[in-house]
């Protein structure tokens, strides 16, 4: 009899859980879990309130948890402790979102795995382990090619008056904001990276305009040049991508891969389907 597995892909805002029982998969969504903002008791209470009732007393044998903040060993211990409260008899593995991308995109094979979502990251994966990781410096100093990076460019074009009248009019109609409000959201309010990433929708909705195409291509090219060119394996192995930005602008990724003479591998909006295949 096959074991019942529970796979989690958790960000700070929302978490997706897949209960895999043989050929059946049940998806459950809960609040996100950030070990930087929640302690063991709060995570345990969240799981008991939002996850356990939807499992309907199913005995989970194995848990594979991929989450934000889980590159930090202390956070891994915290998450494991909370999970053990709820699933005392289950085998569990807790690791970070880059490993989720690597396993979902490459499976048991070697490859380059990239995340292009609100933030960005990349690694060389040898089919079992992440062997090299280009340093992630966060949205202030890095995150090239991410939603926050592209959104910042949109706001720069708007605030510096670079947009032509047509794009400025569309921006005003879409967001009905002003410089004061924008600067307050970026410098004073919490989660400015998410605020910035929200402006990638403006790029997606206005494809075809040369300024929009320039922002997308330049932002993604910065990711290729700054990170992908640092791995010697990039020219030998498929380059794979996961995340909403990667999926939304996959045509630009294909063009850039062709320019750099890289082999484009998989492009997934979310890693979950690949993780289910991996753990099966």
Across the beta sheet with 120-125, what order do the strands follow?
Answer: 130-133, 120-125, 111-116, 238-242, 263-268
Backbone phi and psi for residue 67, each to the nearest 5 degrees, phi listed first: -150, 165
Output the furthest CA–CA distance in the chain (Å, rounded). Answer: 65
Q: How far apart are CA 90 and CA 71, in angstroms?
A: 22
Strand partners, 113: 123, 240
- Whole-number pLDDT of residue 33: 84
Q: Residues 6 or more apart from 275 whose CB is under 8 A from it?
A: 7, 9, 18, 64, 66, 100, 103, 104
- Do 111 and 240 form a contact (C-beta atoms < 8 A)? yes
Query: Strand, coil or helix: what is 229?
Result: helix
Contact 111, 236 (CB under 8 A): no
| pLDDT score of 258 | 96
Q: Is 167:209 a contact under the CB 8 Å cutoff?
A: yes
Residue 69: per-residue pLDDT: 83
Which phi and psi angles does 255 have, rounded to 5°?
Answer: -65, -40
Give residues with Cβ within 8 angstroms of 160, minimum separation 6: none
Contact 215, 166 (CB under 8 A): no
Residue that has been written with the tokens 């929708």 in this structure:
201
pLDDT in the model for residue 156: 96
Residues of the chain falling short of pLDDT 70 = 1
Report the C-alpha gap between 133 and 224 in whole angstroms.
14
Buried b (16+ CB within 10 A) or exposed e, 209-233: eebbeebbeebbbbbbebbbeebeb
Torsion on CA atoms 8, 9, 13, 19, rounded to nearest 10: -40
Q: Are 242 and 105 in contact (CB under 8 A)?
A: yes
| Helix (H) or strand (E) segment spanning residue 112 | strand 111-116
Structure tokens at 205: 């909705």
pLDDT for 160: 94
């Amino acid at each position: 009899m096959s074991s019942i597995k529970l796979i989690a892909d958790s960000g700070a805002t929302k978490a997706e859980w897949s209960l895999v029982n043989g050929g059946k998969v049940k998806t459950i969504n809960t609040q996100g879990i950030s070990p930087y903002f929640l302690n063991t008791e709060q995570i345990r209470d969240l799981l008991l309130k939002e996850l356990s009732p939807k499992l309907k007393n199913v005995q989970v044998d194995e848990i594979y948890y991929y989450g934000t903040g889980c590159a930090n060993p202390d956070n891994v211990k915290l998450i494991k402790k909370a999970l053990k409260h709820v699933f005392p008899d289950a085998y569990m593995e807790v690791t970070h979102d880059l490993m989720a991308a690597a396993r979902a995109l490459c499976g048991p094979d070697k490859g380059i795995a990239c995340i292009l979502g609100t933030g960005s990251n990349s690694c060389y994966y040898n089919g079992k382990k992440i062997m090299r990781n280009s340093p992630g410096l966060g949205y202030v100093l890095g995150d090239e090619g991410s939603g926050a990076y592209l959104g910042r460019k949109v706001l720069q074009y708007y605030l510096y008056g670079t947009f032509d009248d047509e794009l400025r009019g569309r921006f005003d109609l879409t967001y009905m904001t002003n410089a004061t409000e924008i600067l307050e959201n970026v410098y004073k309010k919490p989660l400015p990276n998410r605020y910035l990433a929200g402006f990638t929708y403006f790029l997606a909705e206005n494809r075809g305009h040369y300024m929009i195409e320039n922002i997308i291509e330049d932002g993604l090219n910065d990711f290729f040049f700054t990170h992908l060119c640092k791995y010697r394996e990039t020219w030998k192995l498929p380059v794979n991508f996961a995340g909403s930005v990667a999926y939304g602008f996959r045509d630009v990724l294909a063009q850039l891969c062709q320019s750099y003479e890289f082999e484009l591998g998989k492009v997934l909006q979310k890693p979950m389907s690949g993780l289910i295949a991996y753990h099966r």
